[in-house]
Amino acid sequence: MYQVFVVEDELLIRQSIRNVIENMPGPYALCGEASDGEMALSMMQDLMPDIVLTDIRMPFLDGFELIRHAKAMMPWLKIVIISGYGDFESAQKAISLGVDQYLLKPIRPPELMKAIEDMARRIEADKQQHSSAHGYDNDEVQHALRQHFMQQLLYGGLHTSTLLERAHALKLDVVSSCYQPVLFRLGPGDVDHRLLQVTVRSLLERLEMPLFYFNEANQLTVLCDGRDKDALNEKVYQFIAILRHELKELCPVVTAVVGTMVPRLSAVCQAYRTAADLLKKVADVSAGQVVDVSDAAQIAAEMIELGDPFGARFQQKLQHVSVAGVPQLVDEAIDSPEGSRFNSMLMRYYALIDLLRMTVQQAVKASPELDSKDAATRLSSEYDVMAASGSMPAFRQMAIDLLCRAVSLRDENLSAMKYSHVISKAEKYVAENFCDPNISLISVAKYVGLSAAHFSTVFSQTVGRSFINYLTAMRIERAKELLTSTSMKLSTIALDIGYNEPNYFSHVFRKLEGITPKEYRNRTQGDQ
C-alpha cells in the first residue's frame, strides 16, 4: 500500500485531490492532509507517507521549506508539486530540492492519477535497486578498510593521533565537537542478513554517514557526530526513524540503544561499551524499542532489590537479569555456599515471602492505581507459599515463577520510567489546548523541552500510539459529546475542536467511527 499525503491550503482543490486518491484503483491510500506546511510536517513525522503532493505558496511554512525539512527527515519521500506558478525559478528550485514531478494547476484527475502511479513505480524501482547485491560500493577493499578503522575506534587500543591519521588516509572526516554511538539489533526473525547489510550500506551512503560498523550479522553500530549537542540528538532520533522505515519490509523488528554523547574521539570507545552492554540486556526483553543509555541510572534505581535471604551478590545480578536468565540465577543462589541456608524450611518460607513482597512492589509500579494490600492478597491466593516451602524442588519452581513475573513487570516499564513526567506534562498540555488548530507535535515537543523527533519516539513508545492519533482521538471524542448533547452546526463543532475545515473534520470522523458526524448525531439522539 502506497501512503499518500496532501498539502494544499485551498479547500476545494484539496477536496478534489482527496476524491481522486480515494477513488483510484490499486494499492493507494490517503494517509493524511494539511492546509499548511507546518501542520503537514508535524503530521508526516507520525504518518511516514511514501508520496507527498504539495502546493508551493502556503501560510506558515511554504512548500519549498516543507520539502527541505521533510526530505531531511524522510529521504525516501517521492514528492509531486502541484502549483499555479510555472516560472523557471520555481521549477529550478524544485529540481534542486529533489522534487520528482512538477504539475501545473488546474490539474485533471487522469494527470494526477498518472503522477501518483509514476511515483509508485519509482518506489518499486528503488526497492529493486536496494535488493540488488551489486552497485552500491564497488570498492569493497575501501569498505573493508573503513570497517577495520571503525573496529579500532569502537574497541579501543589506538592513540587519537593514530586514529586521525588513518581516518585521513581513508578520507573520513572524524573531527567534530561531539559524538554519539547508536547501536541496532536487527531482528529476531528469519532475516536475509546479506541483503540487510547491503540495504543499510546504501541508506548510510545516501545519508552521507560513513562511520558505521557491523559488529555481527544482525548488529549495527553507527557513530553520529555534530557541532551542537541538541542538533546531534535531533539527528540521532531522525536517523533511527529513517532506518526503521527503510528496513520495515526486510526487518520489522529493530531495537536501538542510543549511547552517551561524548566530546572527544578518545571517549567513543567507552560510550560504545556502555551502549553495547545495555543492548545485550534489552535486546530480548525490549525488542523493537529505542532505549537511551542516559536512562540506565534511573532504570538501575528502579530495579528489584532483594533482602537478606538471597544475599548482596544475588541482588547485584538480579538488576540486569532477563526473564530467560532467571532459572540460572536461582540455581546459582541455591548451589552457592550461602545456599545451604535454604536447607531450612523456615528460611525457604521467608525467602518466598520476600519474593512475593518484591513482586507486589513491581506490580504497583506498573499500575500506580493498584492498592498494594489488594495486590498482595491476590498474589498470595495464587501461590501456596507454605506448601512450596516444604521441598527444595517446589521452592525452586515458585522462586523462578515469582522472579519471572517480577522481572517481566520491571521490563514492561523500562521505556516509561524516565519520561513519565514528560508524557504527563504533554498529555495535560494537549488536554488543555487540543481545540487550538495550531497545536502540533512540534509545538508540544517544544513545550516539554524535547526535540520533535525525540518526543515523537518517546510519546509513541510510552502511550502506545502516535501523537497525531492521540490528538485526533481526543478531538473526535469531544466532537461526539457535542454531537450528542447540542444542536451545534457541524461547521461550528469542527472549529470548536480545532479543525478549520468542516469537510476534513467529516473525513476524519468517518475514518475513525465508520459513519459521518450527521449519521452519528441522528443515531445517538434517536436513542435518547
* Over residues 5-16, mean pLDDT: 90
Task: List beta partners, residue 212.
Answer: 222
∠ at Cα 522 (521, 526), nearest 5°? 115
The Cα–Cα gap between 299 and 322 comes to 14
On whether both 163 and 279 belong to a single domain, the answer is: yes
Listed in sequence order, the residues at least 6 apart from 67 whose beta carbon sits closer than 8 Å to its beta carbon are 52, 54, 79, 81, 94, 97, 98, 99
Same domain, 150 and 107: no
Q: Return the closest-CA partner of residue 389 out of 335, 352, 341.
A: 352
Residue 110 is predicted with a pLDDT of 92
pLDDT of amino acid 40: 86
Do 272 and 169 lie in one domain? The reply is: yes
Of the listed ranges 109-118, 275-284, 488-497, the one predicted with least confidence: 275-284
pLDDT at 464: 75
CATH number at residue 477: 1.10.10.60
Domain boundary among 99, 131, 163: 131
**pLDDT score for 444:** 93
Q: What is the reported pLDDT for 135? A: 44
pLDDT tier at 271 (50, 70, 90 boundaries)? very high
- Please state the rounded mean pLDDT for residues 226-241: 90
Binned at pLDDT 50, 70 and 90, residue 139 comes out as: low
CA 54 from centroid of its chain's CA atoms: 26
pLDDT tens digit string along 42-76?
788 778 889 999 998 887 778 888 888 888 777 88
Using one digit for the tens of pLDDT, what is the confidence trace for 279-336? 886 676 567 888 888 764 443 333 333 345 676 677 667 777 888 888 998 998 888 8
169 or 4, which is more confident?
4
Whether residue 1 is predicted with pLDDT greater than 90 in this model: the reply is no
Domain boundary, last residue among 350, 385, 415: 415
Q: Which residues form the domain of 122? A: 2-131
pLDDT of residue 192: 77
What is the Rg, in whole angstroms, of the alpha carbon atoms belonging to the chain? 28
Average pLDDT over residues 233-262: 90
Nine-digit cell string for 280: 545485550
Percent with pLDDT over 90 in the chain: 28
> Residue 198, Cα to own-chain centre: how many angstroms?
23
Q: Could you read off the pLDDT of 413-441 as tens digits, one per residue?
A: 555 556 777 888 999 999 999 999 889 88
**Pairing relationship of beta strands 2-7 and 51-54 according to DSSP bridges:** parallel
- Which pLDDT belongs to residue 526? 66
Confidence at residue 348, expressed as pLDDT on a 0 to 100 scale? 82
Among residues 294, 313, 331, the one where a domain terminates is 294
Q: Is there a single domain that holds both residue 82 and residue 181?
A: no
The residue-averaged pLDDT of 136-141 equals 55
Looking at the structure, tell me whether residues 216 and 322 fall in a common domain: no
Cβ contact 243:235 at 8 Å = no
- Number of domains, the chain: 4
pLDDT confidence bin for 256, thresholds 50/70/90: very high
Classify 288 in phi/psi space as left (phi over 0), alpha (psi -120 to 50) or beta: left
Across the chain, mean pLDDT equals 83
Same domain, 401 and 472: no
Which contacts (CB < 8 Å, 24+ apart) does range 133-141 have? 133/194, 133/195, 133/198, 136/198, 136/201, 136/202, 136/205, 137/201, 137/205
Instruction: List pLDDT tens digits, range 171-224.
Output: 898 989 999 999 999 877 667 778 888 889 989 988 989 999 998 878 999 999
Indicate whether 249 and 164 sit together in one domain.
yes
Check pLDDT > 50 for residue 254. yes
Q: Are residues 432 and 387 in the same domain?
A: no
The pLDDT of residue 346: 65
Question: Per the structure block, which three cell numbers stand in for 418?
Answer: 524516565
Same domain, 352 and 330: yes
Residues 427 and 488 in one domain: yes
Cell output for 433: 489546548
CATH number of residue 210's parent domain: 3.30.70.270
CA 375 to centroid of chain Cα atoms: 32
170 and 70, same domain (yes or no): no
How far apart, in whole angstroms, are the C-alpha atoms of residue 200 and residue 202?
A: 5
Q: Which CATH number covers residue 60? A: 3.40.50.2300
- Residue 444 — left, alpha, or beta (φ > 0 → left; ψ -120 to 50 → alpha)? alpha
Give 497-515 pLDDT, tens digit per residue.
999 888 889 888 988 888 9
- Do 289 and 326 fall within a single domain? no
Q: What is the 3-state secondary structure (H, E, C) of 332-382?
A: HHHHCHHHHHHHCHHHHHHHHHHHHHHHHHHHHHHCCCCCHHHHHHHHHHH
